[in-house]
Amino acid sequence: MFTLPNEQTLYGALVARDAAYDGVFFAAVRTTRIFCRPTCAAKKPRRRNVEYFATARDALHAGYRPCRRCRPMDMHRRPPAWVKELMERVDRAPGGRLRDEDLRVLAIEPARARRYFKEHYGMTFHAYHRARRLGLALAEVRRGQDLNAVGLRHGFDSASGFRDAFARLFDKPPGNGRAIDCLRAGWLDTPLGAMLAVAGDEGVCLLEFVDRRSFEAQVAALRRRLGAAIVPGDNEWLERLSDELARYLLGTLREFTVPLMRIGTPFQRKVCERLTRIPYGATLSYARLAEDIGRPGAQRAVGRANGDNRIAIVIPCHRVVRSDGSLCGYGGGLWRKRWLLDLERGQGRVGA
């Protein structure tokens, strides 16, 4: 586990607005309940009023909201140059291997790469690269290509090593590759923070903020429910979602057309179907939603189904409010719910 430097070092970096610490820690001010990047231009708080966090996610979970001036949730809209270089190397030669010694030749400390990829992509760099290789290998296996040749082409030193790695990821040997379902996952950078999108052949089945408390549990539940491995990659639905989400967040798209995989109980699917019919810029109360699906008085059950929505924004659970119009119950945080509703009402995007 990463350990922050001592408090004296952290406060010194905060006062000096030291850019070398950007991404290393976030400073939260107890009196304002706001957290910032260490380089924020705002007036520096007293030392005793500052609390430090290794990630923006930790600060959010502690009850702080992001600063509108330095926008700490936008820290990683574009990956650092060294991360971009690694991703490009993987894309250019996904069947190759990049070991720790190769990273050091590139002046990248392996521990730094592990921590960054674990925090932002949910897995270490080596696990990311291996999953990418195996996802491509699966596509070739499905086309009936020779297993030994596929393994060697994708960086495995032996047929047995390829079979073992394949079976660990997909729970089946490569000989059963044609029967394996595989979901593709991609990370999307948005003004509201990073999101993970997952899609299969039929459509999108997950779009969620990676700092949500239940994020890991949602991904694990999705994998179990569909009986499919999730590997980094692209498909046509992820590309369409990325385009439509970007246009929605700019205020130029009001209706999503990307196909969705509806997962859940009949009740949950009924709730989600009604959610998709709430017009852009409008809201609906939990009570009215319960009535509309033929379950008057079932506000709590509707609220739970709303919270179980795995496709945020596209299935607009943010448009459900209390009967008096006040906001409540959004897994991504009420500040994001307010941001989205303000966007749809044409009131401009609130600082994230």
Which pairs count as long-range contacts for 140-148, CB under 8 Å and 24+ apart, including other chains? Answer: 141/174, 141/177, 141/178, 142/177, 142/178, 142/180, 144/178, 147/174, 147/175
Bridge partners for 29 per DSSP: 34, 50
Q: Catalytic residue at 40? A: no
How far is the C-alpha of 26 from the C-alpha of 72, rounded, in Å? 8
By three-state DSSP, how is residue 97 classified?
coil
The secondary structure of residue 260, as a DSSP letter, is: B
Q: CA 309, CA 88: separation in Å to the nearest integer? A: 33
Written as one letter, the residue type at 10 is: L
DSSP letter assigned to residue 180: -
Q: Which CA distances in Å does 8 have to 5, 24, 58, 170, 182?
A: 8, 15, 20, 47, 48
* Catalytic site residue from 67, 70, 205, 317: 317
Query: 3-state SS of 161-176?
Result: HHHHHHHHHHCCCHHH
| Other CB atoms within 10 Å distance of the CB of residue 2 | 13
| Residue 272 among the catalytic residues | no
For 202, the 3-state DSSP assignment is coil
Instruction: Classify the C-alpha dihedral 6-11-14-18 as positive or negative.
Output: negative
Q: One of 36, 67, 70, 205 is an active-site residue; which one?
A: 36
Task: Give the tokens for residue 265.
Answer: 């109980």
DSSP 332: T
Distances (CA, A) of 59 to 28, 35, 296, 312, 328: 7, 7, 38, 22, 20
Enzyme catalytic residues: 36, 317
